Structure 1
Amino acid sequence: MTALLARMFLSAYHLAGSVAYPVMGPYLSYRARKGKEDAARRTERYGFASAPRPQGPLVWCHAASVGETLAIIPLIRELRRRDIHVVLTSGTTTSAALIASRLKDEVIHQYVPLDMKPAVRRFLDYWHPDAALVAESEIWPVICTELKRRHIPQILINARISDRSFDRWRRRPAIAELLFEGISLAIAQSDLDAERYHDLGVQNVIVSGNLKVDTDAPPVNEQLFETYSAQIGGRKTWAAISTFDGEEAAAADVHLAIRPRNNQLSIIVPRHPDRADAVEAMLTAKGLTVARRSRNDVITPQTDVFLGDTIGEMGLYLRLTQVTFVGRSLYAEGGQNPLEPAMLGSAVLSGAHVQNFRDAYQQLVKAGGARLVRDTEMLTKAVNYLLNNEPARQKMIEAGHETVQRMRGALPATIKGLTPYITPLAVQARLMPRAS
């Protein structure tokens, strides 16, 4: 595709968005009914602000969902420590709930505007950010072009790009160049990610490592932890977390296969809690007794599965076990973050489809802190082995913990890369008159 055709394609994209903009109401209403939009805050998706803009320098940070939000919380706190205001956007109700619980009034949360010119322009006109920091892999054509047009630095942080996305962009090099050349800086998770962003047109690329390694371990309500630990007693436990469709059924089959020997408790935490009713129905159809966290059900000696269907309590579920399967890897693709269970003392198991966390898994597997399985049968054998072999389990746990410690350092590297952009803002903030 030539440069002229690429510009024509982007112009058509912008035009299509402007045409569709007036009729987005029914679509957002449908998503709200499904629990995927906050009905009370739908106007934010059109770029209308629901909070006043503070005086002084302000950075727009965007994190698409929960994982990206957790990764950039330490970076946001570094910005706030320098008196730089932050408006943080996200696209899901689960991430909004997490931001409210973890960051409270440290940031201004807004839902990300639709990638349509009227919404994006309204958002930028109001917030007038001094820089835009985008977590991981979010590339939106209208947002990119508007930031470039206004000479607002656009910086990718904790940047990664999947095999599929890279191949898709590489097949459209002219469009990729138009969009990626407007990115001021990409701070990549790995050498491979850095090479790919440079190939796609980003001129300034550095490698920081993965910010998810530098986050604190997920917090836990100690009283709840003690309550559930007492209910579990001396039973063996294992967990399947961040699971997608098909993986809960696999976890149930694992449970049934090893129950005669272990009488274990299986903890299943779906990636999307709104699927919990369907997951429970599937489990009960298999003859399993389920206790749901959202109902405050008691875990009895007869309970087969503790269903973790709440938001923001991963720290609780992971502290109740020492063997964890990480989902979106067996019957879905991309993988989920293996670092949290490794931080909290779990031997990590995963399917083989972990492209989105390739570097983390490579290091964990090489060190012996994680194992990849190809199917349910192999997962069953691995869980059974680890539940009954304490030396092997402890060896994996120690290897995972040591690997996480070696991988740390992404936050200071990211701050160093951002210095030319945030130091002038910090100086400006210090020179602002203080409110009396």
Structure 2
Amino acid sequence: MPFTLTPYLDDSPALLASLPNQLWWYDIRLSMFNPRQIYTLLLWLLLPYVFFHLLWRARKQREYLQHIDERFGRYSAHSDKPIIWLHTVSVGETRAAVNLVQRLRENYPHHQLLLTHTTPTGRAASEQLYGGDVLRVYLPYDYPFAVRRFLQHFRPRIGVLMETEIWFNLIYSCHTMQIPLLLLNARLSEKSAARYARYPNLTRLGLNELSAISAQSEVDAARIIGLGANNVSVMGNLKFDIQPPLAMLELGAQLRTQFGKDRKIFLLASTRAGEEILLLSMLKQVDIPHLLTVIVPRHPQRFDDVADMLTQQGIRFQRKSENAPIASDTQVILGDSMGEMFAYYAACDLTFIGGSLLPFGGQNLIEACAVGKPVFIGPHTYNFAQASQLAVECGAAVRIQNSTDLAQSLQNLLAHPDQLTKIGQAGLHFVRTHRGATEQALRHITYFLDDHFQ
């Protein structure tokens, strides 16, 4: 979770992280001033960029121009019930919270669940997963006036930030309004920890104004403690608790029939910009009769870009959204649908997890393992470091170093079905042995909702 002056804009903070370094006054030591005031001042100076950013993102995803008022703390949604608030930034966090949301609805039927998001894709995932069972809005940008409006409007009994969210004005406002705010399922890469360490006073203050922090692993906890937090525990990773939805498994079986039961299906899951061209070139190096490759880009706004790339490469492809019979000479299926990743996993023989061939930090490999499918991952998995390392160590995943390595491994594994089965079974065991984070999260939430404030 790299420190940026605008960490709340979207799910690409690396782009924004470099912006402050262009400003000559950015090297002023925050320790000489009230760190939160300096942080807020810099946010105000960047306000024009916020609007430019929304317009820029809206070029390919018009949803960025919707609900702009919510991003500044103005809402029409409301509830007369006491509110439990969960912040799930984008798709990954929203899907990881499925079991937790279900348990909270069971345990607190007289409360209203409020889910906040930062990206349109996260909001769309919430609509698909939860429908009208929850309220959903955008969390406001981290301006004091906006977060105060948000908190005063909804008056949550408790707030839960998921994974990597440290927003200093939001934390401060919850602290002063005596709203318990927890950081759960927390993860912190070595690179992000180093960035936060550049601002020790601000970071330490924010972390210790949180009511509780529970990390995914001992390593994550140690990094957070190293930044000055003193209320840190370890809960495991909520992503291990996710169960493949029956509807998605049934859809996966339908897709397998549609793709062709006699064909080998290779899934390129959650690919990022720059990876597809490398992976398509890799496929030209393998000699696997009737291989069908399914490409599912990480971001829906890139579906058309990938389609153009396939056309330029002269590759015979079909879009999944067309729902047309798959021709025998089709080489690639473009998975241009939202919320169906479990179905794609269920339909394939093996998968490569994108975001890891180039230095994007990787994506979640646990869902593929939960369906019992062999997994390839690249060298760049720092966003899921512990899960990736454990999966490789227990034989649930194969780490490749480059596209040539992937071509060789793909060729070898598809020639040995017994090895595919062995890796898939290891994945199922890997997921089962690491479940339990949902119960830990519930204990934290229950303490503040029931025990501590009775």
Scaled by the length of structure 2, the TM-score of the pair is 0.88
Matched, 1:229 2:254: no
Which residue is 1:434 aligned to? none
Which residue is 1:165 aligned to? 192
1-side partners of 2:139 and 2:62: how far apart? Answer: 13
Matched, 1:179 2:206: yes
Of 150-159 and 24-33, deviating more is 24-33
2-side partners of 1:310 and 1:87: how far apart? Answer: 26
C-alpha displacement of 1:21: 5.0
C-alpha displacement of 1:267: 0.8
1:380–1:116 distance in 2 versus 1, CA, 3 Å: same
Q: Secondary structure at the match of 1:301?
A: coil
C-alpha displacement of 1:214: 0.3
Q: Secondary structure at the match of 1:186?
A: strand
Which residue is 2:159 aligned to? 132
Matched, 1:62 2:84: no
Matched, 1:197 2:221: no
Q: Does structure 2 retain, via aligned residues, the 8 Å contact 1:3–1:175?
A: no
C-alpha displacement of 1:155: 0.6
Which residue is 2:61 aligned to? 35
Which residue is 1:247 aligned to? 275
C-alpha displacement of 1:3: 9.7
C-alpha displacement of 1:210: 0.6
Q: 1:8 aligns with which of 28, 34, 46?
A: 34
After superposition, what is the alpha-carbon deviation per residue over 1:268-307, rounded to whole angstroms, capped at 9, x for unaligned? 1110121122212222222211111123343211110011
Which residue is 1:433 aligned to? none
1-side partners of 2:48 and 2:151: how far apart? Answer: 19
C-alpha displacement of 1:201: 2.4
Letter in 2 for 1:392: Q
After superposition, what is the alpha-carbon deviation per residue over 1:336-360, rounded to whole angstroms, capped at 9, x for unaligned? 1111111112101000111111111
Q: Secondary structure at the match of 1:206?
A: strand
C-alpha displacement of 1:41: 1.7
Q: Does structure 1 retain, via aligned residues, the 8 Å contact 2:251–2:343?
A: no
Letter in 2 for 1:60: W
Which residue is 1:52 aligned to? 78
Q: Aligned pair count?
A: 425
Q: Does structure 2 retain, via aligned residues, the 8 Å contact 1:50–1:110?
A: no
2-side partners of 1:47 and 1:352: how far apart? Answer: 40
C-alpha displacement of 1:74: 1.4
1-side partners of 2:427 and 2:46: how far apart? Answer: 48
Q: Secondary structure at the match of 2:420?
A: helix
1:4–1:296 distance in 2 versus 1, CA, 3 Å: closer
Letter in 1 for 2:262: G
Which residue is 2:398 aligned to? 371
2-side partners of 1:35 and 1:65: how far apart? Answer: 14
Which residue is 2:285 aligned to? 257
Q: Does structure 2 retain, via aligned residues, the 8 Å contact 1:3–1:174?
A: no
Of 205-214 and 168-177, deviating more is 168-177
After superposition, what is the alpha-carbon deviation per residue over 1:199-241, rounded to whole angstroms, capped at 9, x for unaligned? 2222221111110010111541736742552442301111110
Which residue is 1:275 aligned to? 302
Letter in 2 for 1:178: L
Q: Does structure 2 retain, via aligned residues, the 8 Å contact 1:339–1:404?
A: yes
After superposition, what is the alpha-carbon deviation per residue over 1:58-109, rounded to whole angstroms, capped at 9, x for unaligned? 1221011100111112112222221332211011111111111111122100
Q: Secondary structure at the match of 1:89?
A: strand
C-alpha displacement of 1:124: 1.0
2-side partners of 1:16 and 1:288: how far apart? Answer: 48
1-side partners of 2:311 and 2:127: how far apart? Answer: 34
Q: Does structure 2 retain, via aligned residues, the 8 Å contact 1:79–1:85?
A: no
Which residue is 1:431 aligned to? none
Which residue is 1:112 aligned to? 139
Matched, 1:214 2:241: yes
Which residue is 2:446 aligned to? 419
Unaligned runs of 5+ in 2: 1-26
Which residue is 2:355 aligned to? 328
Scaled by the length of structure 1, the TM-score of the pair is 0.91
After superposition, what is the alpha-carbon deviation per residue over 1:236-257, rounded to whole angstroms, capped at 9, x for unaligned? 1111101111221122123222
Q: How does 1:275-354 map to 2 (within 5 A)?
A: 275-354=302-381
Letter in 2 for 1:329: S
1-side partners of 2:323 and 2:375: how far apart? Answer: 27
1:27–1:375 distance in 2 versus 1, CA, 3 Å: closer
1:344–1:51 distance in 2 versus 1, CA, 3 Å: same
Q: Secondary structure at the match of 1:61?
A: strand
1-side partners of 2:439 and 2:360: how far apart? Answer: 31
C-alpha displacement of 1:373: 0.6
Q: How does 1:80-159 map to 2 (within 5 A)?
A: 80-81=105-106, 82-83=108-109, 84-159=111-186
1-side partners of 2:437 and 2:65: how far apart? Answer: 37
After superposition, what is the alpha-carbon deviation per residue over 1:101-160, rounded to whole angstroms, capped at 9, x for unaligned? 111122100011111122111111111112210000011122122122222222111110
Q: Secondary structure at the match of 1:216?
A: coil
Q: 1:360 aligns with which of 366, 387, 401?
A: 387
Q: Does structure 2 retain, via aligned residues, the 8 Å contact 1:268–1:307?
A: yes
1:176–1:191 distance in 2 versus 1, CA, 3 Å: same
After superposition, what is the alpha-carbon deviation per residue over 1:367-418, rounded to whole angstroms, capped at 9, x for unaligned? 1110111100000011111111111111111111111110111111221233
User: Deviating runs (4+, > 6 A) in structure 1?
Assistant: 1-4
